[in-house]
């Protein structure tokens, strides 16, 4: 069975991965959100993984190239539309900020105190894709932010030395970059104002600022540039030559003298205005500025974000996301959506500020995921974590659609009822709660006579009885689901009951305990214990085969036992200690090959036919075994993220110091640790261990739970990197037909010339070429729209509808576009209703906005030209003949 990596549930919470969301949002995460960027894409995980946490995202102006840079400066250059990795490249140091120039020809990167300008690579693989253009020094501390001017000739940088500088792309003789200072705290943002703000200021009769700088204490400075050139002369470019009369440039001199073409080499800078955001006791942690709409979004460490209209500095909105610091902010290209990321909570929010509504709200588990379960139909996954929450995820979209937070202690086990209408969870708070999945509420709470801590859970195949094993009293409690009444208490174990499972075919319950036994119980007849299966080490996991004739158990010594539960006979064993071994801890003095003594499986799951067994534990591997032959079929590595402990097999001796491994030395800023998941001790990653132990703690890679879908097509693992889903479903994997020789733009244009509009549309949808798709849709004859709309593939429905919504904003052929929308909805209405709301809702929202805007524009035009319309309506009537006029007059 060859499982392929298909998707990531709990997005965006996996370290070193890139996640594309259905609401046009791109996020890079290291188990926490570190950078977000608004793009156009569908919901999926890019099939690439960085070696460490991704810290910086850089997207080309056309949205085709994506540069993802990790915390060590290693980058991935990706063709985002084709989902192809083009190049690997290293900047030889951490990169705090990176941005493409507006013309897409260069990339500016802040590498420590240096500003490096690289020539942007193309879409093809070459030997040397990145070529260094220039390197700028002069900053006394690390650069925190940068921005390009609209003519791609000037770069402004903000530094921790409380100042900003303006560099030129090309060398200018005698030019020395000015230092704009005056802030009292480190700068976190710098922006060129742009031509739109300059034009608006000219209409208002005021002088527009050319540059904005923002510091961490909430101070915004507006800087004006006073040129030494005569006003009547055209502006000179960065190369010293006049832009007037440039080849192919027929713009009037007035437009050439806009703020985007100012020659900053000849003049002086002056502080024009000061503004303060007045968030006392909170630091400014993230911000973004949209030049076209002149909107600035600022976020603070208190969880509050403000939206300001510049240059008037009017507060449009002030909202609170949470009590934790907002660490990432970006504005969509059109300026209507604001994306916010909270690293401490793993929270992602997209806010539409004009309509004051949420477009997307996603939040993963704050601490490790400890338990998971598939629904009986395989369409949902329930997870429980150490943050006391139970979450339900949609497998198709990877989005969480409901969160239950009534538990007051870590959740240790979750399970679905056979009807899929309810889920059950056990917690260390001493309660077992049943959740209604139709009304989204807690409808049953089951407790023990005396407070205990529950560590395991099992639901019988009929859904009538729930059993939970305790951690402290070593008892098993049995309740009725309908009445929540305690039916029985099973007491025979002499250690914590850490795993339980009901037989799918017999009325037997199997329980595993640290007392080195697995016991089977007849819960329904009241006979109590049936058999005792003795082991040589503590038992950590137990699982029934679907036939009910085989029982598997995993022990602390790394072995897996197979039992005949009726005869209590051992059928065979698997020595899995060496199979799961791998990865060396930074604090471990033994090599990876000598760490087999501590390796063991903590979760087991049989396949749907019972021929294979999945086993996972405190390792970077998940093992797949053949049950009949008792051999290892495959090991799946769950993560290559070197920011986690236990990923590398061999440690680099150069990183060993007199004080210990360099990875454990606490020399990073406080905000660096937010990008790693919390430790098992309940604190953030990097938090100091107990007094006297020294150093800091990094989370170790492991799988706390594994489950296989009832359909047998996918399986999931709850890991340190998040909840991973592996699938055999072809719809979630790469389609090799996209690489056919006939899938080219030339083939699409040839089909259009031949009148084969359907073939042209299908080829264009595979290419994902936005411009070509617009050409095909608008060029389709109106009489063929209904037929072609009925042949649109199901997977491309949302893409076509989203394109139509975009065309309505600037295309005059409104009736033609509405005909497309109507045909698609009529032909595929049932399919669209069956799709997940997280996939269709953004598209329908965009369509509603486009139609509403068109209706408002038409209504305004009709009201303004009411008398003209009446005249045209009257003039179109046939003129009355003279006899008819005389007869009417008489």
Cβ neighbours of residue 493 closer than 8 Å, sequence gap 6 or more: 469, 474, 475, 476, 511, 513, 515, 517, 519
Alpha helices, DSSP H, located in 742-881: 745-753, 757-767, 770-779, 785-790, 797-807, 814-827, 829-834, 837-864, 866-875
Say if residues 435 and 404 touch (Cβ distance below 8 Å): yes
Q: Is 776 in the same domain as 711?
A: no
Q: Is 706 in the same domain as 765?
A: no
Token pair belonging to 476: 């098993």
Closest CA to 703 of 630, 596, 622, 785: 622
Compare 385 and 31 and report the one with higher pLDDT: 385
pLDDT at residue 639, as a whole number: 85
Closest CA to 468 of 422, 420, 442, 502: 502
Residue 6 CA to residue 634 CA, distance in Å, equals 17
* Backbone φ, ψ for residue 859 (5° rounding): -65, -40
Residue 458 CA to residue 502 CA, distance in Å, equals 6
Buried b (16+ CB within 10 A) or exposed e, 28-39: bbbbbbbbbbbb
Compare 770 and 28 and report the one with higher pLDDT: 770
Whether 301 is covered by a domain: the verdict is yes
For residue 474, name the pLDDT band (cuts at 50, 70, 90). Answer: very high
Q: Is 134 in the same domain as 110?
A: yes
Location of structure tokens 């949205």: 63
For residue 536, name the pLDDT band (cuts at 50, 70, 90). Answer: very high
For residue 732, name the pLDDT band (cuts at 50, 70, 90). Answer: very low
Q: 3-class DSSP state for residue 708?
A: strand
Whether 466 is covered by a domain: the verdict is no
Task: Report the pLDDT averaged over residues 451-467.
Answer: 93
Task: Report the pLDDT averaged over residues 35-57.
Answer: 66
Closest CA to 516 of 576, 579, 474, 549: 474
Interval 235-289: pLDDT, tens: 444 444 444 433 333 333 333 334 446 788 888 999 999 999 987 788 999 999 9
Share of the chain above pLDDT 70, in %: 79
Whether 707 is covered by a domain: the verdict is yes
Q: Is 155 in the same domain as 15?
A: yes
Residue 190 CA to residue 288 CA, distance in Å, equals 9
Alpha helices, DSSP H, located in 494-640: 577-580
Say if residues 372 and 381 touch (Cβ distance below 8 Å): yes
Whether 120 is covered by a domain: the verdict is yes
Interval 182-227: pLDDT, tens: 999 999 999 998 765 655 555 555 567 889 999 999 999 999 998 8
Whether 396 is covered by a domain: the verdict is no
Residue 508 CA to residue 475 CA, distance in Å, equals 17
pLDDT at residue 33, as a whole number: 44
Q: Is the pLDDT of residue 5 over 60?
A: no
Compare 713 and 327 and report the one with higher pLDDT: 327
Angle 362-365-368 from CA coordinates, rounded to 5°? 155
Q: Is the pLDDT of residue 55 over 90?
A: no
Q: pTM for this structure?
A: 0.72
Residue 757 gets which letter from DSSP? H
Whether 792 is covered by a domain: the verdict is no
Residue 760 CA to residue 757 CA, distance in Å, equals 5
Domain C-terminal end among 763, 780, 797: 780
Q: Is 162 in the same domain as 104?
A: yes
Q: Is 144 in the same domain as 214?
A: yes
Alpha helices, DSSP H, located in 404-467: none
Lowest mean pLDDT among 191-195, 224-228, 595-599, 616-620: 595-599
Domain C-terminal end among 319, 346, 363: 363
Say if residues 327 and 12 touch (Cβ distance below 8 Å): no
pLDDT at residue 248, as a whole number: 37
According to DSSP, the residues that pair with 351 across neighbouring strands are: 338, 358
| Other beta carbons within 10 Å of 377 | 12
Residue 584 gets which letter from DSSP? -
Lowest mean pLDDT among 63-72, 594-603, 681-690: 681-690
pLDDT at residue 206, as a whole number: 54
Say if residues 800 and 765 touch (Cβ distance below 8 Å): yes
* Backbone φ, ψ for residue 44 (5° rounding): -170, 170
Compare 768 and 618 and report the one with higher pLDDT: 618
Q: Is the pLDDT of residue 701 over 50?
A: yes
Residue 63 CA to residue 23 CA, distance in Å, equals 15
Interval 80-114: pLDDT, tens: 877 788 888 899 999 999 999 999 999 999 999 99
Q: Is 740 in the same domain as 711?
A: no
Query: CA separation (Å) from 622 to 10, 705, 732, 879?
Result: 19, 10, 21, 87
Residue 234 CA to residue 534 CA, distance in Å, equals 91
Number of domains in the chain: 3
DSSP track, 134-156: EEE---SS-EEEEEE-TTSSEEE
pLDDT at residue 23, as a whole number: 35
> Which helix H or strand E contains 727, and what residues bound it?
strand 722-727
- The count of residues in the chain is 890
Task: Report the pLDDT averaged over residues 730-755.
Answer: 64
Domain CATH number, residue 723: 2.130.10.10
Angle 824-829-834 from CA coordinates, rounded to 5°? 130
Q: Is 704 in the same domain as 764?
A: no
How many Cα neighbours within 13 Å face the side chain of 668? 23
According to DSSP, the residues that pair with 569 across neighbouring strands are: 564
By DSSP bridging, strand 486-491 and strand 497-502 are unpaired
Q: Average pLDDT of the chain?
A: 80
Counting Cβ atoms within 10 Å, is residue 781 exposed (0-12), middle (13-18) or buried (19+)?
A: exposed
Whether 836 is covered by a domain: the verdict is no
Q: Is 624 in the same domain as 769?
A: no
For residue 827, name the pLDDT band (cuts at 50, 70, 90). Answer: confident
| Other beta carbons within 10 Å of 185 | 14
Task: Report the pLDDT averaged over residues 392-416.
Answer: 89
Residue 842 CA to residue 513 CA, distance in Å, equals 48
Counting Cβ atoms within 10 Å, is residue 110 exposed (0-12), middle (13-18) or buried (19+)?
A: buried
Which residues constitute the domain of residue 561? 538-565+575-653+696-734
Interval 320-359: pLDDT, tens: 888 888 989 999 888 888 999 888 888 888 888 888 888 7
Task: Report the pLDDT averaged over residues 602-611.
Answer: 91
Residue 174 CA to residue 817 CA, distance in Å, equals 56
Token pair belonging to 673: 């640790």
Domain C-terminal end among 316, 347, 363: 363
Task: Report the pLDDT averaged over residues 709-730.
Answer: 82
Interhelix angle for 757-767 vs 745-753, to 10°?
A: 160
Q: Is the pLDDT of residue 596 over 70?
A: no
Alpha helices, DSSP H, located in 547-628: 577-580
Closest CA to 409 of 424, 420, 425, 393: 425
> Which helix H or strand E contains 67, and what residues bound it?
strand 65-70
Token pair belonging to 697: 């703690």
Whether 368 is covered by a domain: the verdict is no
pLDDT at residue 17, as a whole number: 59
Q: Is 203 in the same domain as 338?
A: yes
Q: Is 742 in the same domain as 641?
A: no
> Which helix H or strand E contains 861, and what residues bound it?
helix 837-864
For residue 586, name the pLDDT band (cuts at 50, 70, 90). Answer: low
* Backbone φ, ψ for residue 327 (5° rounding): -110, -10
Taking the CA atoms of the chain, what radius of gyration do you get in angstroms? 32
Compare 362 and 192 and report the one with higher pLDDT: 192
Q: Is the pLDDT of residue 8 over 50?
A: no
Cβ neighbours of residue 616 closer than 8 Å, sequence gap 6 or more: 601, 602, 603, 622, 623, 703, 704, 705, 706, 717
Query: CA separation (Å) from 76 to 135, 391, 528?
Result: 21, 32, 59
Task: Report the pLDDT averaged over residues 287-292.
Answer: 92
Q: Is 700 in the same domain as 775?
A: no
pLDDT at residue 252, as a whole number: 37
Query: CA separation (Å) from 541 to 279, 518, 538?
Result: 51, 9, 10
Token pair belonging to 202: 């000219």
Residue 164 CA to residue 209 CA, distance in Å, equals 15
By DSSP bridging, strand 369-374 and strand 187-192 are unpaired
Say if residues 443 and 422 touch (Cβ distance below 8 Å): yes
Say if residues 614 and 703 touch (Cβ distance below 8 Å): no
Q: Is the pLDDT of residue 693 over 70?
A: no
Compare 149 and 195 and report the one with higher pLDDT: 149
| Other beta carbons within 10 Å of 230 | 7
């Amino acid at each position: 069975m060859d499982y392929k990596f298909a998707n990531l549930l709990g997005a965006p919470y996996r370290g070193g991965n890139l996640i594309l969301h259905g609401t046009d949002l791109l996020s890079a995460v290291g188990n926490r959100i570190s950078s977000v960027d608004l793009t156009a894409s569908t919901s999926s995980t890019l099939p690439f993984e960085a070696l460490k946490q991704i810290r910086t995202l850089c997207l080309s102006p056309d949205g085709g190239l994506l540069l993802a840079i990790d915390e060590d400066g290693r980058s991935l250059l990706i063709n985002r539309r084709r989902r192809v990795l083009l190049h690997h490249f290293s900047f030889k140091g951490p990169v705090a900020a990176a941005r493409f120039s507006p013309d897409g020809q260069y990339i500016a990167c802040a590498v420590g105190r240096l500003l490096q300008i690289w020539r942007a690579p193309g879409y093809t693989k070459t030997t040397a894709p990145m070529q260094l253009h220039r390197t700028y020094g002069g900053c006394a501390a690390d650069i925190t932010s940068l921005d390009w001017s609209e003519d791609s000739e000037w770069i402004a940088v903000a530094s921790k030395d409380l100042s900003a500088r303006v560099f030129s792309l090309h060398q200018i003789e005698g030019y020395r970059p000015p230092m704009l200072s005056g802030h009292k705290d480190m700068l976190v943002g710098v922006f060129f104002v742009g031509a739109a703000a300059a034009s608006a200021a000219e209409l208002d009769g005021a002088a527009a600022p050319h540059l904005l700088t923002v510091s961490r204490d909430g101070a915004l400075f507006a800087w004006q540039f006073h040129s030494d050139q005569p006003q009547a002369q055209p502006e000179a470019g960065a190369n010293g030559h006049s832009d007037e009369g440039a080849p192919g440039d027929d713009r009037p001199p007035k437009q050439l003298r806009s703020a985007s073409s100012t020659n900053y080499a000849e003049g002086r800078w002056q502080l024009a205005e000061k503004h303060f955001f007045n968030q006392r006791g909170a630091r400014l942690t993230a911000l973004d500025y949209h030049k076209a709409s002149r909107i600035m979004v600022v976020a603070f460490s208190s969880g509050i974000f403000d939206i300001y209209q510049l240059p008037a500095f009017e507060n449009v909105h002030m909202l609170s996301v949470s009590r934790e610091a907002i660490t990432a902010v970006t504005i969509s290209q059109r300026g209507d959506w604001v994306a916010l990321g909270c690293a401490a909570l793993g929270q992602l929010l997209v806010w539409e500020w004009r309509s004051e509504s949420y477009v997307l709200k996603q939040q993963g588990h704050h601490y490790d995921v400890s338990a998971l379960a598939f629904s009986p139909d395989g369409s949902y996954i329930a997870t429980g974590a150490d943050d006391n929450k139970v979450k339900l995820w949609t497998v198709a979209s990877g989005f969480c659609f409901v969160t239950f937070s009534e538990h007051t202690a870590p959740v240790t086990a979750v399970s679905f009822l056979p009807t899929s209408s309810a889920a059950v969870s056990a917690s260390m708070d001493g309660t077992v709660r049943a959740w209604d999945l139709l009304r989204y509420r807690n409808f049953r709470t089951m407790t023990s006579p005396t407070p205990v801590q529950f560590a395991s859970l099992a639901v019988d195949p009929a859904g009538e009885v729930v059993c939970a094993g305790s951690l402290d009293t070593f008892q098993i409690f049995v309740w009725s689901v309908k009445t929540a009444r305690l039916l029985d208490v099973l007491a025979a174990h002499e250690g914590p009951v850490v795993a339980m499972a009901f037989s799918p075919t017999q009325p037997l319950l199997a329980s595993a305990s640290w007392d080195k036994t697995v016991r089977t119980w007849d819960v329904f007849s009241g006979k109590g214990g049936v058999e005792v299966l003795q082991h040589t080490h503590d038992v950590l996991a137990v699982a029934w085969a679907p036939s009910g004739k085989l029982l598997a158990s995993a022990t602390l010594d790394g072995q897996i036992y197979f039992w005949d539960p009726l005869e209590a006979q051992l059928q065979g064993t698997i020595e899995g200690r060496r199979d799961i071994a791998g990865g060396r801890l930074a604090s471990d003095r033994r090599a990876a090959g000598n760490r087999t003594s501590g390796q063991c499986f903590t979760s087991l799951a049989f396949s749907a036919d019972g021929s294979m067994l999945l086993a996972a534990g405190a390792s970077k591997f998940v093992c797949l075994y053949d049950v009949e032959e008792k051999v290892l079929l495959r090991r799946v590595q769950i993560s290559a993220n070197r920011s986690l402990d236990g990923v590398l097999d061999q440690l680099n001796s150069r990183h060993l110091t007199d004080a210990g491994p360099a990875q454990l030395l606490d020399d990073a800023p406080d905000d660096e640790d937010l990008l790693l998941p919390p430790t098992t001790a309940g604190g953030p990653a990097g938090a100091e261990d107990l007094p006297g132990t020294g150093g800091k703690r990094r989370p170790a890679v492991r799988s706390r739970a594994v489950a296989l879908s009832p359909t047998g097509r996918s399986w999931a693992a709850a890991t340190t990197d998040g909840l991973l889903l592996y699938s055999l479903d072809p719809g979630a994997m790469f389609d090799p037909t996209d690489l056919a020789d006939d899938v080219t733009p030339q083939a699409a244009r040839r089909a259009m010339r031949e009148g084969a509009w359907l073939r042209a549309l299908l080829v264009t949808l595979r290419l994902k070429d936005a411009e070509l798709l617009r050409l095909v849709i608008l060029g389709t004859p109106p009489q063929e729209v209904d037929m072609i709309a009925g042949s649109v593939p199901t997977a491309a429905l949302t893409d076509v509808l989203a394109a139509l919504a975009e065309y309505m904003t600037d295309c005059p052929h409104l009736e033609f576009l509405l005909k497309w929308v109507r045909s698609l909805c009529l032909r595929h209405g049932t399919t669209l209703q069956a799709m997940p709301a997280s996939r269709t809702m953004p598209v329908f929202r965009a369509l509603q906005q486009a139609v509403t805007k068109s209706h408002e524009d038409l209504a305004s035009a009709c009201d303004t030209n009411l008398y003209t319309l009446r005249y045209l309506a009257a003039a179109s009537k046939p003129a009355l003949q003279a006899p008819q006029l005389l007869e009417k007059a008489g």
